[in-house]
Amino acid sequence: MRMPVSVLAILLTVLTAVPRVHAQASHTATQSAIDSALDQHVSSVAADREDVLRVLEHPAVKDVASRAGIDLRRATSAVETAGAQQLSTMATQAHQVEQALAGGQSKVVISTTVIIIALLVLILIIVAVD
């Protein structure tokens, strides 16, 4: 009687362990997949940073910032040190500014000015919080 119980206990132990081992093996990623995901993330963050910095260099943005009394050097340094999530938010607003200024508009309308000020204030708030 002891032998069948022992065999049954070993069999049940093996059967319960096999799905766990299989589940662990099926969720692993290759090193190349991890490297690719990291490269893509870094590229995305760098692109967002470049977009925001490009908008901060626009003459209309510089003009609005000087009239509002906002130091663009501080805003630029904040962009250079911002994290991925913060940069994503800033880049979204930077794209709105670029769209508003697209086509070589020489006259900045009120809505564009508001968008620019909102971007600059967002950058300064992020600096103040950090």
Tens digits of residue pLDDT in 3-37: 666 666 676 676 666 655 544 555 577 888 888 88
What pLDDT is attached to residue 50?
A: 92
pLDDT above 80: residue 57 = yes
- Report which of residues 30 and 109 the model is more confident about: 30
For 69-109, where are the alpha helices, taking DSSP H only?
72-81, 84-101
Give the long-range contacts of residues 107-116, CB within 8 A, separation 24 or more. Answer: 108/60, 108/63, 108/64, 112/60, 113/64, 116/60, 116/61, 116/64, 116/65
Give the mean pLDDT of the chain.
77
Instruction: Give 88-99 pLDDT, tens digit per residue.
Output: 888 888 888 888
Return the domain boundaries, the chain: 33-129
Assessment of whether the complete model's pTM goes beyond 0.75: no
What pLDDT is attached to residue 17?
A: 62
- Reported residue count of the chain is 130
